[in-house]
Amino acid sequence: MTMTEAIGRIAQIQATIAQLDGATGATGAAGRAAAVSGASAGSASVGASAAASATDFADVLTQALGSSSVTGAGAAPSAGGVTGEDVVADAKKYLGVPYVFGGTTSAGIDCSGLVQRVYKDLGIDVPRLVSGQSTVGTEVPSIAQAQPGDLIVTNGGEHIVIYAGDGKVIHAPSEGRNVSLVDAWMDDSDIVTIRRLVPQAAAPAASATGTASVSTAQADALRSLFSSMLSGGSFSGVSL
């Protein structure tokens, strides 16, 4: 590959990153383009080792772009610094509140009302009904992998609970009962879906020189781009 062709490839990469990062504004996109240009300028020697895999290269590039956090592509709300433990702690404030169909306050609350209320307390907006809540965040494969703060949809999609950790859940059960912390009675065959909106632990603080975060979708797109280029030999003889 000639240096002219290599420069063309770098331009393609810059354009792709600019598209992926459009939501962060012109400043963020320009910073990333500069980062890619700087990386390519420092690797102009042809014939240097190019043994790093596409995934490794994408990971290094993502880090170089100043990623301070990774957010799930399917997460509707922005979790900010909220953790699953924060969700559980807030949910415990409603223990003992009577079940009231359609309720959303400490005077009376139903299962989906409890979920919406707890997340709203923490600055995260979620849909009001179970049907909407069952689509937010990212899916967790099984209850064995559930973490505090995850939402578990059961009863054919008619009921939702908050996983509290240690095999416990918090929920507003039914008429005549109160919000309670109980053993998780369900297994995977009873579960419609498990949704994760926030991480279990706080995300690491952004570095002093870090720019805007790179999402999971962006990182995956970068990996796909470089995988296709390297597997096709597009960078043969050029070290990046």
Domain positions in the chain are: 3-70+213-231, 84-196
Architecture of domain 84-196: Alpha-Beta Complex (3.90)
| Span 27-57, pLDDT tens digits | 444 544 444 455 444 444 434 444 444 455 5
Quote the pLDDT of residue 138: 97
Write out residues in the chain with pLDDT < 50, as ranges.
23-24, 26-29, 31-36, 39-54, 60, 62, 64-76, 202-203, 206-213, 235-240
Quote the pLDDT of residue 5: 63
Quote the pLDDT of residue 110: 98
* Residue 34, both tokens: 């500069």
Quote the pLDDT of residue 56: 53
Whether this prediction's pTM lies above 0.95 is answered by: no
CA dist 56 and 110 (Å) reads: 47
CA dist 67 and 52 (Å) reads: 20
Quote the pLDDT of residue 173: 97
Cβ(85)–Cβ(196) below 8 Å: no
Quote the pLDDT of residue 69: 38
Q: In the block, which residue shows the tokens 């702690």?
A: 89
Quote the pLDDT of residue 192: 98
